[in-house]
Structure 1
Amino acid sequence: MQQSGDVAASADDEIQAYVAPADAAPAATELDRSANYTTATLVEMAGTTGISNVSSSYYSNNTACSVQWPFAVGVPITYGFGWRPGEFHTGADFTPGNGAHVQAVADGVVRVAQEGYQGYGVAVIIDHEIDGQHWASLYGHMQYGSLQVHAGEKVRVGQYIGRTGNTGFSYGAHTHVEIRQNGVTPIDPIPWLRAHNKC
């Protein structure tokens, strides 16, 4: 009797298969085997969402978690939270490349989705309830015409909300991301995202 499990491809064959036990129930529907499937790495797939600057030095995103990073893969972060010449920087600046898809960091409800929000330019603010607490995430400097959500809309973690741009008070394409405790007080988003992207 053959055991169920993965069957390794032979040197002459590229087919991979899973062998089910003989007494397994048949599938409810037939599988569509007419499509041509290919494999790709997560980084290669990120390219389909416009991410051109990839760096695992900053973070890697666990897509199984209820809180994720604003980009599907690790991208460079040019400025973090805190004082910099002339101002206090209330978030972190992610540089995935101009036009890269920005994703919601958690399930929530869109509070703001505007083409010109304060100095943030094209921006989205999403309210979240995480571990019984109210949090908000802000995404700024996105491209004009790229908003994929509207105020009052429920969004899911990882949902595409807009594209990285250079609007508002901005010097170069990036996405400014803030995490706001109680929906209003900015905290350092990097340790918060690291702590919550473990599941």
Structure 2
Amino acid sequence: MVTGAALPALATGSEGVVAGATTSLTTAAAADAAQSYTSTSASSSSDEIRAEIAPRGTFSATTPEEIEETRSRAVAAALAAGMPLGSAVDIPIADRIIMPMADGTYSFTDGFGASRPGRSHLGQDFAAGVGTPINAAMKGCVSRSTESYQGYGVTIQIESIVDGQAVSTVYSHLNYGTRAVEVGDCVDEGQYIGDVGSTGYVFGSCLHFEVHINTVAIDPMPWLQTHVN
């Protein structure tokens, strides 16, 4: 159900967001926002990854076309007002978490904290051949979907609620042209979102996977080991 207005999560300017939202929607979106969750990386401000979740306002739609139009306008209005994704779509509670790739399709390479020029590695790399499918690790809504985000390359970011906490998952270095979701879309765990690639700053093809909780990028592996069921 669509109820409110929305904002993406890595930085400003996500692709796939409908432009031209009205001033009235922007004002309503700003008035409805209350709490927010911000997840940032340990890198410079230009490399920050942000995820925000807030209560929704209320919109009325009846047909699938009206619902989609409401969602698009709400997302655009919230972005224009600098508001969180959760003000436009209901951020779902993720009651089941899975690995982002199927067993046997990947191997683990660089992990959390590995050395990177000027900073630490903020996620876990899943090495795999170009074209290997990537799935959403949990139920959530897309806050970023872009063909290029600095060193991350083709990137998708999804917002979820897990154990009462705002959780942002990041999927990077995807192959060009394979993104299957756009900002404002909501997905189920296991849903296909794109293919492994080698875009951005990376050696070899892999999925770079990050988990952000309460403004902090955490080691995804212990978290996955605890939550995957």
Partner of 1:94: 126
Partner of 1:107: 139
Partner of 2:180: 148
Any residues of structure 2 matched to 1:33-48 within 5 Å, and which? none
Question: Which secondary structure does the structure 2 equivalent of 1:72 belong to?
Answer: coil
Give the distance between the partners of 1:138 and 1:109, measured in 2 at CA.
12
Q: Deviations over 1:44-101 (max 9, x none)?
A: xxxxxxxxxxxxxxxxxxxxx7100111215211100014253300001101221101
Greater helix share, 1 or 2?
Answer: 2
Number of aligned residue pairs: give it.
133
Matched, 1:187 2:187: no
Partner of 2:103: 73
What TM-score comes out, normalization by structure 1 length? 0.64
Give the Å deviation of 1:166: 0.4
Greater strand share, 1 or 2?
Answer: 1
Give the distance between the partners of 1:161 and 1:134, measured in 2 at CA.
20
Give the % identical residues: 40
Partner of 1:158: 190
Larger Rg: 1
- Between 1 and 2, higher relative CO (CA 8 Å, sep ≥ 6) is seen in 2
Q: Deviations over 1:78-128 (max 9, x none)?
A: 100014253300001101221101000100000000000121110000000
Partner of 1:34: none
**Aligned-residue CA RMSD in angstroms?**
1.3
Q: Which runs of 5+ in 1 are unaligned?
A: 1-64
What TM-score comes out, normalization by structure 2 length? 0.56
Give the distance between the partners of 1:98 and 1:89, measured in 2 at CA.
21
Q: Which runs of 5+ in 2 are unaligned?
A: 1-94
Partner of 2:152: 120
Q: Which runs of 4+ in 1 moved over 4 A?
A: none
